[in-house]
Structure 1
Amino acid sequence: MATGKLAVVFGGSGFVGRYVVRELAKRGWRVRVAVRRPHLAQFLRPMGSVGQIQLKQCNVRHRPSVADALHDADAVINLVGLLHQTGAQTFNAVQSAGAVAIAALAKEAGAETFVHISAIGADAESDSLYARTKGEAELAVKNAFPEAVIMRPSIVFGQEDSFFNKFANLARLVPALPLIGGGKTRFQPVYVDDVADAVCEALVRPDAKGRIFELGGPRIYTFRELMELMLRETGQKRLLAPVPFPVASLIGFFAQIVGRLPFLEPVLTADQVKLLKKDNLVDDSGAVGVLGDLGIDAQTVESVLPAYMVRYRKYGQFTKQAA
């Protein structure tokens, strides 16, 4: 147990962050959650004992607030990331420059361990701005904090995910779901609880320091197979329509423009189409670590998805499922 030690979590109110915070508290850490809007993160407090979880206002684009959040930190976890850009929240400012600031200031603050969440496909030379800034962040983090642990998850799924939930919601509104590039891109979805376990294990395992881990589940699926699985679990019958990459890029361009309007989020961006041109799989060459190296037995999509797709069925839990 890590009783008494302080872990500072940046981006702890997000999807993956809330699971990391809960797991840290369960393992006895004191947790300081650095977030832009603490009043929207109050739901984190009951995840630990009274006073165990503290909320701290912080913006990774503002270095003094980052330095303040890192005071007395024993461990630091950076989960800050974007799915798409909006206003001042850009990939360069948040995923690249923000990560650099956190890592450099964590080192100055004397933190013992640092875990940085990146993504499979991170590449400083990528034509995708998302993947490029993720890759730039990895290089900068390693330079500022050589012992840092880099974690690259594939699609992360779970109760509040933005993948299965997004498409299940979309299926409620439209008669067909798009298969970008024909739906042939392959993924290795990883359960959010497994990612949280991996982060916590990396903080206490000396052999994890300085390493890169790629996090994926036990099975590989094409995008089409994931859509078919989601539709089967929700009981929705929808056409799966192949969309060529050039057409998808055009759709993503216009969706991105619409997404700049207040309270609207683009379903697809041109940058995401670039990401979909490459498989999103764990490197099995042995060059990087995997969940098994951290003692984690990964959960399958089939074992978890039914529990939270049930709300999309016509009669919820009372809907009769086909045999």
Structure 2
Amino acid sequence: MSAGALSPSSQLVTVFGGSGFIGRHVVRALAKRGYRIRVAVRRPDLAGHLQPLGRVGQIHAVQANLRYKTSVEQAVAGAAIVVNLVGILQETGRQTFEAVQAFGARAVAQAAAAAGARLVHVSALGADDASDSAYARTKAEAEKAVFAALPQAVVFRPSIVFGPEDQFYNRFAALARMMPVLPLAGADTKFQPVFVGDVAEAIARAVDGAVAGGRIYELGGPEVRTLRGLVEYVLKVTHRKRLILPLPFGAAHLQATVVEFLDKLTLGLMPDEFVITRDQVKLLRRDNVVSEAAVREGRTLEGLGITPNADEAIVPSYLWRFRKAGQFDTARTI
């Protein structure tokens, strides 16, 4: 029987990384559809915020660590569909790119295949096995492992994802509140920010079985901007005037080297807003936008029938707290 012939309430969906930024929106979208949801996370005790997103007993958190296949297999057991959202932007301790994004994704895909479950895997724009960035290389390695185990899997590659809890707009808004000058590596690099709610809807449609498998979908918003343009937009929304200082990549690499050393020296106590790694600098060398091929072949949000939200419609609703007078700042943002 096809997934479409079954009611959502009769199907169990295991969501790896369901307590994170994208995860909570995916869980909400699946809960509204009526699916039973098993959220697989390293710390189930920190996933309590997901419970109000569904009915009593609809959402259940279990312990799983992608570095250990047994825990992955146990989290997948009995599931009809598996969603893997796990990814990291910075390596810490045993949470390395290779362990989490390559080995972990392979473990999830193999467990899903063994259980006869469908798989929805979230990667990232820029995934490339020839990249200088370990982040991008392991993302590409994960995609290959996914299709090797499940050729009909659905893979999504979003650009920068924004929303109330994002680590992009919120980060630059926080920096602008603390610093008179904003050093910026990759100021001319292009991005296509995509709203987290739109990404979650695409994933939910894939869980529904409404997205063709065996393909990679590239998810971007309606606008392409340079990194400098995005930071200028943050300053506009938060009503702050700051000097943006574009950094050559050589200087940015040196800055990242120093910051990484200081972060280790302080045992990771540096504020997240200040931390930039050498691997992230490497990522900034390439544009992060939806390809022409994806647009032509309908492997985009629009191709899935989803009209992407512009950041102007969403971002001001959560960046107001960075204004000098907060919600009472009445200056115009447009």
- TM-score for both structures, normalised by structure 1: 0.97
Within-5 A mapping of 1:53-64: 53-64=59-70
Within-5 A mapping of 1:232-271: 232-260=236-264, 261-264=267-270, 265=272, 267-271=275-279
Gaps of 5+ in 2: 1-6
Residue type matched to 1:159 in 2? P
2:209 to 205, 212, 216: 205
Residue type matched to 2:287 in 1? D
2:14 maps to 1:8 = yes
After TM superposition, give the deviation of residue 206 of structure 1 in Å: 5.0
State the Cα RMSD in Å.
Answer: 1.2
Residues 235-268 of structure 1: CA deviation (Å, up to 9, x unaligned): 1111111111000011111212223323434621
Residues 54-92 of structure 1: CA deviation (Å, up to 9, x unaligned): 000110101111011011001000000001000000000
Runs of 4+ residues deviating >6 angstroms: none
Residues 145-192 of structure 1: CA deviation (Å, up to 9, x unaligned): 1111110000000000000111111111111112213x1000000000
Q: 1:185 to 1:210 in 2, by over 3 A?
A: same
State the partner residue of 2:112. Answer: 106
Preserved contact between residue 159 and residue 288 of structure 2 (Cα < 8 Å)? yes
Q: Aligned with 2:9: secondary structure?
A: coil
CA distance in 1, matches of 2:146, 2:131: 18
State the partner residue of 1:154. Answer: 159
After TM superposition, give the deviation of residue 126 of structure 1 in Å: 0.9
State the partner residue of 2:44. Answer: 38
Within-5 A mapping of 1:104-253: 104-111=110-117, 113-181=118-186, 183-253=187-257
Gaps of 5+ in 1: none
CA distance in 2, matches of 1:47, 1:144: 32
After TM superposition, give the deviation of residue 114 of structure 1 in Å: 0.7
Structure 1 vs Structure 2: percent identity of aligned residues? 52
State the partner residue of 2:284. Answer: 276
CA distance in 1, matches of 2:173, 2:152: 40
State the partner residue of 1:17. Answer: 23
2:326 maps to 1:316 = yes
Preserved contact between residue 17 and residue 84 of structure 2 (Cα < 8 Å)? yes
CA distance in 2, matches of 1:87, 1:314: 37
Preserved contact between residue 212 and residue 288 of structure 1 (Cα < 8 Å)? no
CA distance in 2, matches of 1:288, 1:66: 33
Residue type matched to 1:217 in 2? G
Aligned length: 321
After TM superposition, give the deviation of residue 207 of structure 1 in Å: 4.8
CA distance in 2, matches of 1:320, 1:235: 10
- TM-score for both structures, normalised by structure 2: 0.94
Q: Aligned with 1:32: secondary structure?
A: strand
Q: Aligned with 1:3: secondary structure?
A: helix
